[in-house]
Amino acid sequence: MLRKPTFPSGYTHEELGSEIARLLNLPDLCQARFERMSDLAEAVDQIRNNRKRLKRTSRLIELAKQAATAYPESTLAHG
């Protein structure tokens, strides 16, 4: 049986080439992951802002309902 030549680390030529290719690809993978995490952070901020806006809008609607109930004869109620 013919053995494939190995490097001092024990890798065969094909394994070493594969490992080098994987390592060379790491910066691109890290950059892609960073971009995805950045997009996720932006989405979380947008959701947080939307919730704050919804809370303020709900409060304004509640105040308008209270005003309409408390002062049904006001000019606001008659438009």
pLDDT, tens digit, 9 for 90 and up, residues 22-50: 899 999 999 999 999 999 999 999 999 99
The whole-number pLDDT of residue 68 equals 86
Tokens of 17: 């080439």
**Is the whole model's pTM more than 0.75, yes or no?**
no
Q: Are 7 and 16 in contact (CB under 8 A)?
A: yes
Which amino acid is residue 30, in one-letter code?
C
Give CA–CA dist 66/74, Å, rounded: 12
Please report, rounded to a whole number, the percentage of residues in the chain having pLDDT higher than 70: 81
**DSSP string for residues in the chain:** -PPPPB-TTS-BHHHHHHHHHHHHHHHHHHHHHHHHHHHHHHHHHHHHHHHHHHHHHHHHHHHHHHHHHH-TTSHHHH-
Q: What is the mean pLDDT of the chain?
A: 85
